[in-house]
Amino acid sequence: MFAIFSQGFLLQASLILALGAQNLFVIDVGLKKNNHILAATICSICDVALILLGVLGVSALLVKTPIFKVGVGGVGALFLLYYSYLKLKESFFGIEMKKDGKTERLSKKLIILTTLSFTLLNPHVYIDTFFLVGGYSTKFESIKDKLTFGFGAGLFSMLWFYFLAYFSSRFSTFLTKEKNLKKVSFFTGLILAYLAYMLGFDAYRELINNL
C-alpha cells in the first residue's frame, strides 16, 4: 500500500516542480501576502479533483477531443498574455501601494477567479493529471490501489502549493519593497509571455492538424 502511495507522490513531484504559470501565481500572491493560503487551497483542491478523475478514467474521452485542447489552449494563452501584460506594466510603471507601504490586496472573489483561471485554463494540467498520472494508474487493477496512488499524487500537490505560499510570504518583507517587486514582476511577466506563446502555438498546431 505504501509503495503504491509513494509512486503517486513521486510521480506528481516530477511533474509539478517546473516553474509554470500556476506556481508563479501562487508565489506572486505569497510575496504580497494577498490571500495566498486561499490560492494554495484552491490549487490543491483542483489538482486533487483532477488527479482522482484521471486515475478513475472518467476523463479520457474529454481529453482526447481535439476541440478541448484547442479551446482551452486558446483561451488560456490569451489569459496568460493578459496577466503578463499586467506584470510588465507593474514593472515599468510601479505597483499601487497603500499608505502603510503595502501592496493593494485583491478581493477574495478575484483571487478565487484568477486562481481557477490559472489552474483550469491550462491544457498541460489536464495532460499531467489525466494522461500521465491517470495513464500510470492503469497498471493497478483495483480501485483501491488506483485511489491510493491518486491520493499519493494529490498529497504532493497540496504540500507543494502550501510550501510555495508559505515560503514566498516569508520573503515578502524584503521582496515587496517597490524596487524589488518591480524586478519580480518583470521576470514574471517575461515568463508568462513565453508560456502564453507556447500554449497558443500548441493550440494553433492542434487546430491545423485537425482541420
d(CA 97, CA 45): 31
Is residue 21 very low, low, confident or very high in pLDDT (cuts 50, 70, 90)? confident
Given a cut of 50, is residue 99 above it in pLDDT?
no
Distance of CA 100 to the CA centre of its chain: 31
* Pick from 68, 49, 13: nearest CA to 207: 68
Determine the pLDDT at residue 154. Answer: 96
Instruction: Kindly report the average pLDDT of the chain as a whole number.
Output: 84
Can you read off the three cell numbers belonging to residue 83?
Answer: 496577466
Helix H or strand E segment including 196: helix 178-209
9 touches 159 (CB < 8 A):
no
What's the average model confidence in pLDDT over 17-44? 90
* Pick from 170, 207, 192: nearest CA to 117: 192
d(CA 172, CA 165): 11
Summarised one tens digit per residue, pLDDT across range 170-192 is 877 766 566 777 787 888 889 88
How much helix, strand and coil, in percent to the nearest 5, is found in the chain?
80, 0, 15
Distances in whole angstroms, Cα of residue 112 to Cα of each of 37, 46, 86: 11, 12, 18
